[in-house]
């Protein structure tokens, strides 16, 4: 398979950028809102493993204004995280090498668009991606597969795809979309605990350069 027939789809937070968002703290704030509104359908300990979109869905099932309040909490955390973000280790060099080899590169994030494009450009990363898909682009967020399908629909000639990320929601989205998952970082146990298939796992982005995406 030619490299230009391979799509490499990157998660954003803690994969390409270290944005320092405390996702567990955000979950607690969302659960606080659910509990205050009487919309929590299970104990806090059972809600904490859910993704942020899954928590918001519980709020939306109760009333639209609750979901809007929850998205406001998430949006503020994203803005604060992006304001202090830094590239993840060797991200620029790795992306340059992968693009030079001919792979089609894309970003898929549950974050809002907002200042994301500016941040990617400021770090010299925006130039590498043919598609940047945010929650403003897709109909359902990770762990749903819709974002991966959106990216592939906007890439020309991609016959194989890999989702590259650090979290179980990336792996679950890959599984649901029928593409391979490549994990990055220290949270492999969290993915394995959910029984989600892993094609490969690397300690940091530089490990991607040793993988055979074309074989």
Asked whether the predicted pLDDT for residue 21 surpasses 90, the reply is: no
Asked whether the predicted pLDDT for residue 26 surpasses 90, the reply is: yes
Residue 20, pLDDT score: 78
pLDDT averaged over the chain?
94
Burial class (CB in 10 A: 0-12, 13-18, 19+), 118: exposed
Residue 35, pLDDT score: 95
> Distance between CA 81 and CA 187 in Å, rounded?
20
Instruction: Say whether 110 sits in a helix, a strand or coil.
Output: coil
Asked whether the predicted pLDDT for residue 82 surpasses 90, the reply is: no
Asked whether the predicted pLDDT for residue 10 surpasses 90, the reply is: yes
Determine the Cα angle at 194 with ends 153 and 113, to 5°.
Answer: 40
* Residues 85-101 pLDDT 10s: 899 989 999 999 999 99
Sign of CA dihedral 52, 55, 57, 60: negative
List Cβ neighbours of 57 (8 Å cut-off, separation of 6 or more).
67
> HSE of 11 in the Cβ direction (CA atoms, 13 Å)?
28
Contact 181, 196 (CB under 8 A): yes
* Residues 32-80 pLDDT 10s: 999 999 999 999 999 999 999 999 999 999 999 999 999 999 989 888 8
| 167 φψ region: left (φ > 0), alpha (ψ -120 to 50), beta (else) | beta
Residue 89, pLDDT score: 85
Asked whether the predicted pLDDT for residue 15 surpasses 90, the reply is: yes
Banded pLDDT at 84 (limits 50, 70, 90):
confident
Contact 148, 163 (CB under 8 A): yes
Residue 28, pLDDT score: 96
Residues composing the chain: 215
> Distance between CA 14 and CA 17 in Å, rounded?
5
Residue 200, pLDDT score: 98
Determine the Cα angle at 133 with ends 5 and 151, to 5°.
Answer: 30
> Distance between CA 56 and CA 27 in Å, rounded?
10
Class (C level, CATH) for 3-18+87-210: alpha beta
**What does pTM read for this prediction?**
0.90
φ/ψ of residue 171, rounded to 5: -65, -40
* Residues 132-187 pLDDT 10s: 999 999 989 999 999 999 999 999 999 999 999 999 999 999 999 999 999 999 99
Banded pLDDT at 117 (limits 50, 70, 90):
confident
Please report, for the chain, the start and end positions of each structural domain, with discontinuous segments joined by +: 3-18+87-210, 23-83
């Amino acid at each position: 398979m030619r490299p230009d027939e391979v799509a490499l789809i990157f998660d954003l937070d803690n994969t390409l950028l270290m944005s320092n968002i405390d996702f567990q703290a955000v979950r607690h704030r969302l659960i606080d809102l659910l509990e205050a509104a009487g919309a929590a359908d299970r104990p806090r300990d059972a809600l904490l493993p859910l993704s942020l979109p899954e928590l918001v869905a519980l709020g939306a099932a109760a009333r639209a204004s609750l979901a809007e309040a929850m998205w406001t909490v998430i949006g503020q955390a994203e803005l604060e995280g992006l304001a202090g973000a830094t590239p993840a280790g060797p991200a620029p060099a790795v992306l340059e090498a992968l693009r030079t080899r001919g792979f089609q590169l894309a970003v898929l994030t549950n974050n809002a668009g907002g200042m994301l494009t500016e941040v990617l450009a400021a770090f010299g990363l925006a130039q590498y991606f043919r598609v940047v898909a945010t929650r403003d682009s897709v109909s359902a967020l990770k762990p749903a597969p819709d974002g991966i399908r959106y990216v592939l629909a906007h890439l020309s000639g991609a016959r194989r795809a890999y989702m590259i990320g650090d979290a179980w929601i990336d792996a679950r989205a890959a599984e649901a979309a029928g593409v391979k998952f490549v994990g990055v970082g220290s949270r492999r146990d969290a993915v394995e605990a959910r029984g989600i298939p892993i094609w490969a796992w690397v300690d940091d982005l530089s490990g991607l350069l040793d993988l055979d995406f074309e074989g």
